[in-house]
Amino acid sequence: MRRSWRGDEGSATVVGIGAVLAVLAAFAIAVQLGAAVITRHRTEAAADLAALAAAAHAADATSDACATARRVTDAMSVRLVSCELRGWEANVRVEGTPPGVLTRFGVARATARAGPAGAVGVTDRPTR
């Protein structure tokens, strides 16, 4: 003989759907967090590479060195905010925009400095 509890029919389906939705929401949050971390890493890497590229062209004019840094940042899909060349030392600031709904939370920013190891405080301009 089978007993039937009235009102309980289908409740496992509702609980199951709720559990699946909770797992999907957690997955979506994890994916967005991963995208934010990747954007930050990409922005930091672009700043480092742009500073190295600008420092490598320090013997050229400042505009040439910064144009090289801009090419690097453009290739890495970030925006060059500033580029300064002081002697052999290059300082750059970049911003990277995260994808999707993360754009509401702002941009990732990074700064980098590159130059010869002993160049801190050296301000003499290289000659050709």
> What is the per-residue pLDDT across 77-122, written as a single tens digit (0 to 9) for each?
999 999 999 888 999 999 999 888 777 888 999 999 998 876 455 5
Residue 34 located in a structural domain: yes
Provide the angle, in degrees to the nearest 10, between the axes of the packed helices 62-75 and 11-56: 160
Q: Is residue 107 included in any domain, yes or no? A: yes
What six digits make up the tokens of 14?
């509702």
How many CB atoms lie under 10 A from the CB of residue 125? 12
- Assess if residue 8 is contained within a domain: no
Question: Looking at residue 128, what is its pLDDT?
Answer: 47
Burial of 36 (0-12, 13-18, 19+ CB in 10 A): middle
Structural domain count of the chain: 1
Query: Can you give the residue range of the structural domain that contains 88?
Result: 14-114
Would residue 2 count as lying in a domain?
Answer: no
For residue 1, is it within any domain? no
CATH number (domain holding residue 44) = 3.30.1300
Burial bucket for residue 115 (CB in 10 Å: 0-12, 13-18, 19+): buried
**pLDDT tens-place string over residues 22-75:** 999 999 989 888 988 999 999 999 999 999 999 988 877 778 899 999 999 999
Average pLDDT of the chain? 85
